Chain A
Amino acid sequence: MSKMISYEKKNTPVHKLSGFTKLIFFILWCLTSALTFDTRVLFTMIAIGVVIYIIADVKWQQVGGIFIAVMIFMVINLVCIFFFSPYEGCKIYGSRTDIVHLFGDYTLTKQQLFYELNVFVKYFAVLPSVFIFLVTTDPSELASSINGIGVPYTIAYALEITLRYIPDIQDEFHKIKNAQEARGIEMSSKGKLFDRIKNTAIIIFPLLFSTMERIGVVSNAMELRGFGKKKKRTWYSKKPLKAADIAVIAFSVGFFVLTMFITYMDGSRFYNPFI
């Protein structure tokens, strides 16, 4: 079973920021990395990401596994891109500089390498935001933060319920899986595809059934405690914004605007070193 990435209580400046601030940073960061293809911007983002990792006191044991997994995934993806479209880079940058002919119709070009490097960096640029957000944000703060950016509180609270019940459901899943395995029903990779789906159904069904029962109980409990009657709701664990929060939000917005300006200044999202 994979290990889950979860919040770790620490006392770094990043941990001290309000969840709201980190959410804004997270969204703008994702947006920036999605919109830009400017190599300079992407590398700057990687550099800032490394700095945040250091400030947030993230250890290699925490991120190493993920980095390696993402790396393998990206290498496969990059190879795929090359085989599907070996001259994508040439199309984008409008020039072609051959390095070496490989076989058949496949020639390695500088432009293709540079394009694939950009795809690679672009993916890594977004990593810190997801990871830092999960590891440094107290789950209790998440719902109030999401409500804070304008999402209705009912939806925000649904997310809190999700985080609350993931451990319980995971626990129950293991119990049910064990009990069914003792009856001889395994989720192994052996056997015919249809049989495997059938066995999965046999294991998932009791879990689904008890989950449906749980929904009934929790809905009643929430109703009995007055959830959803008022237009607004306060949050016990909301952190007030401090000077550092304002600074980080200002930086995030400023950075976003600046990167967009740099990226689209010349009418193309790509930084073209080949002109």
Chain B
Amino acid sequence: MKFKFGIKEVVALGIGTALFVVLTTVQIPLVIVPNTALQPRMAILAFFSAVFGPLVGAGIGFIGHWLGDAIFYGSVWWSWVFPEIIVGAGIGAFFKKYAVEEGGFNKGKSIVLFLLTEIVSNAIAWILLAPVLDIIIFKEPVNKVFVQGLFAFLGNAIIIGVLGTVLLIVYSKIVGTSSNLKAED
């Protein structure tokens, strides 16, 4: 598959990353598990991946996570930056099928496909890649990093599955053309 990387994609990558970074500080705390929070910025990553494809998605994930953590927290946890590439690229892989900007993201089929790729990419990223990197770089205990990875997977899969899907459906509805409208009395 060949992916276009024209001006629109460059700008989408740049501005999408800016939005991702701005939303870094927006978190929805989970009451059940203390000290963990859902990250709405992940839904933004999913949205841009689904609209602009895997390259833009991977770029926003990587640069956004790096830059967001760096400018708000002053430190970068590299082993959690790289997995974002998988999430962005994975969700973006079928972006042509969604046809979000043409109003195509409304059928059950696109939503199921989106949810499936979303869950699979998050699983690979957080249950597999992030823990392995943590072990390689920090030599952290195996059981600890996999438990962390599992929570990250759950949190991201949920926020993307709910918020990401909602954003895509609403956006697709708003920009897609509509016909057969009649004024009512």
Chain A interface (Cβ < 8 Å from any Cβ of B): 1-2, 4-6, 30, 34, 37, 63, 66, 69-70, 76, 80-81, 84-85, 88, 92, 115, 119, 122-123, 126-127, 130-131, 134, 154-155, 157-166, 169-170, 173, 187, 189, 193-194, 196-198, 200-201, 204-205, 207-209, 211-212, 214-215, 218-219, 222-223, 227-228
Contact = CB atoms under 8 A, between A and B. Distances in A.
5 tightest CB-CB pairs across the interface, nearest first? A161-B14, A85-B141, A84-B144, A66-B74, A158-B14
B73 A66 contact: yes
B91 to A, nearest CB: 16
B59 interface: yes
A2 B17 CA distance: 18
Q: How large is the interface on B (under 10, 10 to 19, 20 to 34, 35 or more residues)?
A: 35 or more
Query: Secondary structure of the A side of the interface?
Result: helix
A122 B175 CA distance: 49
Query: Secondary structure of the B side of the interface?
Result: helix
A215 to B, nearest CB: 5
A126 B11 contact: no
13 contacts: A37-B139, A66-B73, A76-B35, A80-B144, A81-B141, A85-B143, A126-B75, A126-B76, A131-B75, A134-B74, A154-B5, A197-B162, A215-B12
Interface stretch (B64-72, B104-112, B120-128, B176-184): B64-72
Contacts of B78: 30, 34
A24 B87 CA distance: 27
A9 B138 CA distance: 35
A196 to B, nearest CB: 5
B23 interface: yes
Contact of A134 (B14, B35, B47, B71): B71
A207 B26 contact: no
A162 B67 contact: yes
Interface string B141-159: 1111001000000000001
A159 B63 contact: yes
Contact of A219 (B11, B17, B70, B138): B11
B86 interface: no
A119 B138 contact: yes
A164 B15 CA distance: 9
B7 A173 contact: no
B163 A166 contact: no
